[in-house]
């Protein structure tokens, strides 16, 4: 076994040079997904705590007990599901993403069919849809990357 020479350079030298060149850094979509989920976890934790503030009477002008029953049910639902989804998102678990999708879709559906029970400003709805599309896109890119 000897070293073959091609064009004045050995094959072994060319192999070493190929290994020495750094591969270009690629955007790692798994890392982007983790950061996205962590940021959404913080946002959803705040959203859940605001719902609890309404229940406890810390926020809001109308006492929780004086609100319509449907609005009370929606407030309790989001107080629970938002915090659980926030924990799941922070842990970057699959069930966290699923619960977050359930919470977002629940809010969007309620905003369309029962607008007096949830906040339904055009900006808020647009942000929810943009967040939903970003999550689905980043998740797909992370899955394709593997």
**pTM of the shown model:** 0.77
| pLDDT value at residue 61 | 79
> What is the chain's mean pLDDT, rounded?
86
Helix (H) or strand (E) holding 40: helix 29-56
pLDDT band at 114 (very low <50, low <70, confident <90, very high): confident
Whole-number pLDDT of residue 45: 97
Q: Is 40 exposed, middle or buried (0-12, 13-18, 19+ CB in 10 A)?
A: buried
pLDDT digits (tens, 9 = 90+) for 33-43: 999 999 999 99
Q: Which residues of 1-33 are buried (b: 16+ CB within 10 A; e: fewer)?
A: eeeeeeeeeeeeeeeeeeeeeeeeeeeebeeeb
Split at pLDDT 50, 70, 90, the class of 86 is very high
Q: Tell me, what's the pLDDT at 26?
A: 65
């Amino acid at each position: 076994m000897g070293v073959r020479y091609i064009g004045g350079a050995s094959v072994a030298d060319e192999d070493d040079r190929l290994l020495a060149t750094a591969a270009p850094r690629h955007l790692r979509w798994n890392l982007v997904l983790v950061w996205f989920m962590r940021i959404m976890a913080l946002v959803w934790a705040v959203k859940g705590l605001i719902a609890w503030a309404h229940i406890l009477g810390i926020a809001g002008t109308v006492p929780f007990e004086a609100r319509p029953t449907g609005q009370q049910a929606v407030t309790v639902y989001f107080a629970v599901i938002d915090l659980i989804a926030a924990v799941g998102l922070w842990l970057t678990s699959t069930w966290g993403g699923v619960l977050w999708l359930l919470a977002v879709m629940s809010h969007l559906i309620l905003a369309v069919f029962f607008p007096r029970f949830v906040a339904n400003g055009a900006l808020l709805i647009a942000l929810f849809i943009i967040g939903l599309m970003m999550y689905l896109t980043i998740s797909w890119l992370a899955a394709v990357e593997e």
